[in-house]
Copies of this chain bind each other. A is one copy, B any other.
Amino acid sequence: MSPIGRKVSTTKGGQTKALILETALKMFRDHGYESTTMRAIARKAGVSLGNAYYYFPSKELLIQAFYHRTHQEHLAASLPMLEKELSLKARLLDVMRLKIATLEPYHEFAGALFKTAAHPQSALNPFATASDAVRQASIQLFADVVTKSKARIPEDLRVELPYLLWLYHMGIILFWIHDSSRKRARTYRLIDHSVDLLDRVISLASNPLMRPLRKRALSLVDELREGLPLDSEDPESTVEGRQK
């Protein structure tokens, strides 16, 4: 929907906010999340501690900004490939590899991310409303992976597939966070194998003979999603719209 480029706010406050965010992300990348203190961020950005808190009321909210940022980068990296007409398998493979590549500079930081991400009370757990926008956008990306592929997939499955692939991608990220192999070789291997398997399972599930089982599985997925905030009463909850 929105273009990729960073919107560089021209207002005074917007620039200060951007400055703080850039400083924070750089420090997170270089020294990790825990050991980067709010005081250090403020000092390096040349603002007071209170000022940093004026724009980011909690350290966690800097993570949310990170979510947003890396999603944009991943999207930008994926778009050219998504234009091409490829098999579902090839498209998924590319998207997943690009995701990991995008996150790679922040590997250590991302651990802290998941820490808060899994917390129900946290504003950034991926199932909560606050991160709605980014999540929706992320699911949309997988919708693009599915939609424009020429794979023959029954409608019922096709509808749920983006969400399922998003869940799958969260699992891969969880694995990646724990992966300390050289050049993240194990994660890439896992992606290769799991995408291959997923492709086969999708084919199998698309077989008419599998219809009853498929229906059951899909109603289970419904169960899963039901409680999650699917709808945002706020109609302009685009990725950009949630800036506060």
Contact = CB atoms under 8 A, between A and B. Distances in A.
Contact of A217 (B117, B175, B197): B197
Contact of A120 (B178, B200, B220): B178
Given A112-B119, A227-B179, A196 B174 contact: no
Task: Please give the count of copies of this chain that the complex contains.
Answer: 2
Interface stretch (A8-16, A138-146, A186-194): A186-194
A121 B111 CA distance: 8
A127 interface: yes
Interface in A163-184: 174-175, 177-181
B213 A194 contact: no
Contacts of A122: 115
Nearest to A213: B200
Contacts of A193: 216, 219-220, 223
A111 to B, nearest CB: 4
Given A194-B220, A217-B197, A181 B227 contact: yes
A226 interface: yes
Interface in A99-117: 111-112, 114-117
Contact of A189 (B189, B216, B223): B223
A224 B190 contact: yes
Contact of A223 (B177, B190, B217): B190
A193 to B, nearest CB: 5
A47 interface: no
The 5 closest A-B pairs by CB, nearest first: A115-B119, A118-B118, A111-B120, A114-B118, A193-B220
Interface of A: 111-112, 114-122, 125, 127, 174-175, 177-181, 186, 189-190, 193-194, 196-197, 200-201, 204, 213, 216-217, 219-220, 223-224, 226-228
27 contacts: A111-B119, A111-B120, A111-B121, A114-B118, A114-B119, A114-B120, A115-B115, A115-B118, A120-B177, A120-B178, A127-B178, A175-B224, A178-B228, A179-B227, A181-B227, A186-B226, A189-B223, A190-B224, A193-B216, A193-B219, A196-B216, A197-B216, A197-B217, A200-B213, A200-B216, A201-B213, A204-B213
